[in-house]
Structures are given as C-alpha cells and as structure tokens.
Amino acid sequence: MGNCLSRDDSKTNSYSPVALAVGESKSFNGVQIVPEPVYNWHQTEATTIISLDSNYKELRPEDVVINVSNGVHLTIVVYLGSMLYQLSGEIYATVSEMSVDFIDGRCDVCLTKFEVSHWSALHGGAPLAVKFAPKKKFEMMYCSCAVKEVRQVTHDTKMFLVEFPSLAYVCVPLGHHVFIRHVAEEYEIVRPYSPVVNLEGDRGFEQGRSILLLIKIYPSGSLTRLLAHLAPGDSIEVSRHEGTFTEECFHHTDTLFLIAAGTGLTPMTKLIRRFLEMGESKQVKLLCANKTEEDQIMERELTALQESSHARFEVRHTLSQSSATWSGLKGRVNREMLQEVFNASEGKEIFVCYCGNLPFNIMMRRILRGFKFPEDHCHLFG
C-alpha cells in the first residue's frame, strides 16, 4: 500500500485567509471560503487509487474534473462553491485506464497502471502541486476531444456528439457551459456552448465521458464556419465547465418558466428533464422564439415530451416571420405573451430562466422588471 501524501510537501499558491472547521464556510472579501479538501492514495500492483475528500460537502460527479494527458500528466479539479481545488503534476508512471467512483461523499479516482509495478510515490519528478483559490485565479483547462457523431438539426444548426479522452472525466452540471477553442498560428478563438440532453433518451451518451453540443452555424462566424466542416473522427478542444447556476435555485418552485430565443434553448433542455424528475407537482412552461418554422430547434422532441408529460410540460412557439399557414404565436416575445403565462400560474411559486442573443436578453430583463419579478427568482443564461 502507498502512503498518504503530506499536504505540506505539495502545497503551492494556497488561499486560506480564515481558519475553518470541517463542514464550515465563511465569506471573505465577497468570496465564499470553504475548508481545503484533502487527498490520499493507495495502490495495488495493478492500480493506484487517489481518494479526495472535500471536508465540506459530499462530492457529486459534477464537482470533479479529471484529465491525465499523455497517460502521465495528472490534473484533478474540485469545484466548491466559488472556490476551486486543483491537484496537478506528473505521476510516478504511465497509466492506461481510469475510472471514477463516488462513495460515502468522497471521490475515488482509480488509475490502471500501464505496467504492473510498485510505485514508491504518487508523483514522478517534483511533488504534485496543490492550488486552492477563488475560480478567477485559475486558467481554463482544455483537452482534445473526439467528434463521434454529427447530425444536421435544421438548415443552419448541427448536433455534435463529442467524446472526452479515455483518461478524462467532465460531468457538466445543470445550467453550466464549456468552451470550445481553436488555436491558429497568430490567434485563438474561444466560444461558450451549453451541452444539451436528448429529450427522448441519451443514446450513445455516457455521463462524464461525452457531451452533446447543439451549435448554430454562422457562415461568417470565426469559429462556427470551422465547426461546420467537422466530421466523425475529427477532434476539437473542449474546456472544463463553468457557470453560476445551481439546482438549489428552484428547489422550492412549483413552476419553471423558460424563455428561449433560437439556440438559447440549449441550456434549457437539462433544466426541463431535471425539473420534471423532481416530482409530480412540478410543471414546466417553455416559450421558444424563432424567425421562421425552418428555424425551430428540437420541435419534434419538445412536442413529443408535451404529449407524454400528462400536462406537466407545455411548449409554445412564436415566430417573427411566420407563414400564412402558421397557427402558433406571432411576433417577438412581448409583455402580453408573458402576462398570459404568469396569469395561468397565479398563486404558484415561479422561477424564470431566459437565454438568447444580447438584444433579446436586454429586452427580456426590461420586461421582467416591469412585472416586478424578484431577481432571485430569475436567471439569465448569457
């Protein structure tokens, strides 16, 4: 068995302005400070297991991001509120496989050794570095991912099934996004995208190992014109996740009201599924805004979910450039459209999320303020 690593031997750039007991948190200069996580490790001849304990809360799959690049360069990131904990460096020897388990609130990372052997330490050269600091103190972490499937969704929107490397684990939480990066010789292009779920079931999808990205292709877009030509077998750089939304935002809510313009629907798909799973009393109302019928995204899946939801999910569409045969709502989202939904939900606790382009988001914020809607009952995915 390997010995526990001394935290004092491997700590760098730590951030500990206040002393905290296990499970305690405090605020310092506007940042929520929590106890620093700890790790230890043990081994067999075939595997090495790194165990992480947050000292604050039970770790969930979305709290941990792992990457072992080239089989030997380890990075583990733990999300704890506004803080990040990072363990990184070169491990003792090359590994060939990795699995992740969450047991009794801790995270166990099991590394399969490329060669059966005994490690005299967890690190190879220098001791592994530990950094515990506010999120803004960290650079973004990327890994090269494989494009497994590409599907045309609308005339200008594609769905990409993207698979993380076998030695990586990224479980994107509800309402969070990842960044896609393209690096050329003289410049770098980075854009955020919210992973979606297939509302009819996650065929070919493995949590923590792959994500679905629904991306609108702009012919003149600096990044999307490159993504437009991706095919199965190609690779793209994808980051760890970021975001401020937490599921606790709507735990005490009866009705979730979602307003999406175009691909602003992407962060809503996970919310729809999760909220409906929370109990028979929960209801979701979705208003989708697009230009034309051809621009509607996931329209068939949304309709199928509405028909099978026993009146717990309702979707309505409005088009700003509708045809003569269109029977749905017409025009841009306005106060009257929202008033109808709010009136139907009178007496219920409502939580509102909205997402679209910048002009749409500005307009929605102004309309919602006109309703004197509480800001802590409203979230912008921007």
Domains along the chain? 7-137 (2.60.40.790), 145-239 (2.40.30.10), 250-380 (3.40.50.80)
Q: Which pLDDT value is given to residue 8?
A: 36
CA distance 149 to 151: 7
| pLDDT given for residue 17 in this prediction | 43
Q: What pLDDT is recorded for position 1?
A: 40
Torsion, Cα of 270, 271, 274, 276 (10° steps): -120
Which pLDDT value is given to residue 11?
40
pLDDT in tens, the chain (382 residues): 443 433 333 443 344 444 445 555 555 555 567 789 999 999 999 999 999 999 878 999 999 999 999 999 999 999 998 899 999 999 999 999 999 999 988 999 999 999 999 999 999 989 999 999 999 999 999 999 999 999 999 999 999 999 999 999 999 999 999 999 999 878 899 999 999 998 876 655 678 899 999 999 998 899 999 999 999 999 999 999 999 998 888 888 889 999 999 999 999 999 999 999 998 889 999 999 999 999 999 999 999 999 999 999 999 999 999 999 999 999 999 998 888 776 766 657 889 999 999 999 999 999 988 887 778 889 999 7
Q: What is the pLDDT of residue 16?
A: 43
8 Å CB contact between 269 and 313: no
- At residue 24, the pLDDT reads 56
The pLDDT score that the predictor gives to residue 200 is: 73
Output the pLDDT for position 256. 93
Q: Is there a contact between 287 and 354 (Cβ–Cβ < 8 Å)? A: no
